[in-house]
Amino acid sequence: MAFRTARNLAYFSNYIRNYSTNGPLVNVTVNEKSGFATATLQRPSVNSLNLELLTEISHTLQQLEKNKCRGLILTSASNKVFSAGLDLFELHKPNADKIKQMWSTLQEVWIKLYGSSYPTVAVVNGHAPAGGCMLALSCEYRVMLNNFIIGLNEAQIGFSAPMWLIDGMRNTIGSRQAEFALTAGTLFKTEEALKIGLVDEVAQSKEEAIEKAEKFLNKFAKIPPHARSMTKAALRGANIQALVRNKDEEVRSYVDFVTDSQFQDSLGEFIELNLKQKLSK
Ligand SMILES: CCCCCCCC/C=C\CC(=O)SCCNC(=O)CCNC(=O)[C@H](O)C(C)(C)COP(=O)(O)OP(=O)(O)OC[C@H]1O[C@@H](n2cnc3c(N)ncnc32)[C@H](O)[C@@H]1OP(=O)(O)O
């Protein structure tokens, strides 16, 4: 297959190297032997998803698709936090245009990662609340390190996760568990997440997690890539199409919702109660 040839792999690796020097929030490396790419989120200190990081993730996914990536491992440069989800400070008293772009880019990231033709694994080497869990859920497989938390805690902050994310959770852990988890905004410890199927494997170190991730990706070595990706598209396509149809409407309702004073009050309370950094009065 074309993308397995040394020339294409070299082109891909060079591209990624050049790209990484321009985009310091996501570092991409390619294992020349396996052809697997590792994208490491590195926005200090907790990979909270602001417009810049989301834009870079989106560009990275686009390039991986274009260059016929053989498999992706998504992980974090922090040894404490995989991603803290949306940047809560950017959602507080926001500029409407900026959050419009932010929401639309978040949708793009989900469409590209959830709908990627290549296999994907999240090495969850730190906490993964809300948008962090979303990134992990968009991948096909999750390997998580011990003593961290993961889940969709949107209800605790004062909003509901969007339908496409609810569907992603439901497809992963089943309807009943998803209803319990989403309505309470539950954050699960690693072992609990393993029990309900929110993560697939637990590892004791990042090295072990990467090994497990590569083992998952290697399962597809003998499967024709087009057959694999067609099957993935058949399984995930309806969920993606539902968002594509409703994308602009969802952005509008998100912006209205987030700029409303009731949401702003509950976000302000959440930040004051849960984050060390406080709001400037
Ligand atoms: C139509 C309607 C649509 C509705 C929209 C649906 C949207 C669905 C998708 C996503 C939603 C979201 O992602 S909302 C974000 C939710 N995130 C959280 O609740 C995480 C909050 N943070 C934490 O729980 C913890 O910080 C942590 C577990 C991630 C890490 O804990 P730890 O103790 O290791 O670290 P600190 O708490 O000391 O934090 C370190 C540092 O980071 C800052 N921080 C943490 N989280 C965020 C964040 N989300 N945004 C911005 N900044 C964050 C924290 O303030 C500390 O800052 P300082 O070092 O400066 O003190």
Query: Contact 146/202 with Cβ under 8 angstroms?
Result: yes
pLDDT band at 13 (very low <50, low <70, confident <90, very high): very low
> Has residue 21 got a pLDDT over 80?
no
Element (H, E) at 124: strand 120-124
Whole-model pTM?
0.92
149's CB contacts (< 8 A; 6+ apart) are 127, 128, 129, 187, 188, 189, 190
Q: How many residues make up the chain in this entry?
A: 281
Distance CA 212, CA 260 (A): 44
pLDDT at 16: 46
pLDDT at 276: 75
Q: Which atom of ligand 1 is nearest to the CA of 149?
A: 28
Q: What percent of the chain has pLDDT over 90?
A: 87
Least confident of 35-39, 93-97, 132-136, 243-247: 93-97
Q: Which of 12, 110, 139 is nearest to 66 (CA)?
A: 12
CA of 209 to the centre of ligand 1 (A): 24
Q: Which amino acid is at 103?
A: W
Does the beta carbon of 43 lie inside 6 Å of ligand 1?
no
Distance CA 107, CA 254 (A): 12
Q: Which atom of ligand 1 is nearest to the CA of 159?
A: 4
CA of 236 to the centre of ligand 1 (A): 28
pLDDT at 11: 40
Placement of tokens 């060390």 in the chain: 276
> Has residue 23 got a pLDDT over 70?
no
pLDDT at 124: 99
In tens, the pLDDT along 146-204 reads: 999 999 999 998 889 999 999 999 999 999 999 999 999 999 999 999 999 999 999 99
CA triple 185-187-190, angle to 5 deg: 155
